[in-house]
Amino acid sequence: MPTMNVIQAVNDALRTEMRRDANVVVLGEDVGRFGGVFRATQGLHDEFGADRVIDTPLAEGGIIGTAVGMALYGLRPVPEIQFADFIFPAMDQLVNEVAKYRYRSGGQYACPMVIRSPYGGGIRGGHYHSQSPEAHFIHTAGLKVVVPSNPYDAKGLLISAIRDPDPVLFFEPKRVYRAAKGEVPEGEYEIPLGQARVTREGSQITVIAWGAMWHEADQAVREAAEAGLDCELLDLRSLQPLDVDAIERSVRKTGRAVIVHEAPRTCGFGAELSALIQERCFLSLEAPITRVTGFDTPFPYTLEAEYLPRAPRILRALREVAAF
């Protein structure tokens, strides 16, 4: 079985689906001959041609608007927004058009597409290349939101997203694009959307993370184990639909929950997760639900390492929750 990093797994998933289904098309800034700014689409233009791997102007609203037309006429577009920070010019298309076609047409028209976009900090990108906007889209009914943390999940989830009948935001953790490596099966396989994965079983604290922050949480959980804390780690993988049953099962077992994400704290997805845990697990809780997140500031270029909820900060939270 070949070993891949996340960017190679994304490329392999796109190639697999484009070979299987002639309706799958890729479009975005520099995705053609250049192969994408991170090389996620490298080689696709040579194999599938300019009609299916389409370079676009620097116009995110136009990219998503074009994808809407493609989807309504039967294609399976996979538009790339070069950085998640650039997705905001396309918010009207995404929130008021893409998300609502199935509902406004009474189910007559679906709008299947996968909007791929690298997100998050950790590469010295500063204010405009480091944001984590997942909560905006989880809040928008009609959209699905997926965030893989490793190459195996990236390929299986992206294939599932492309085959899904509804629009999916597919946020890729660029901080671990090349750092996260693992075995990835050749050919096609799917990982169903809406299924979390318990990556480490434990009995004392449930730790919930996704994307690049799963790696920080994993490191913290390993260090906590050396100090005698037995934590269970969940990789959500899919934020909408959410595997809330997996969260409930784990928190009912451990009685404690720590949520980790790099987006700002206020109205981040951790707030929604905290509410769901409180609603479902109130009588099982033995300590306050704790969030370890980015801060309520624009993403800082010079204080990047301090802003991100890295393993030492997560480990402090685990110790405090355990000692409550």
Residues with a known catalytic role: 129
Q: What distance in Å separates the CA atoms of residue 32 and residue 54, rounded to the nearest whole number? A: 6
Question: From CA 261, how far away is CA 131, in angstroms rounded?
Answer: 12
The Cα 119–Cα 131 span in angstroms is: 6
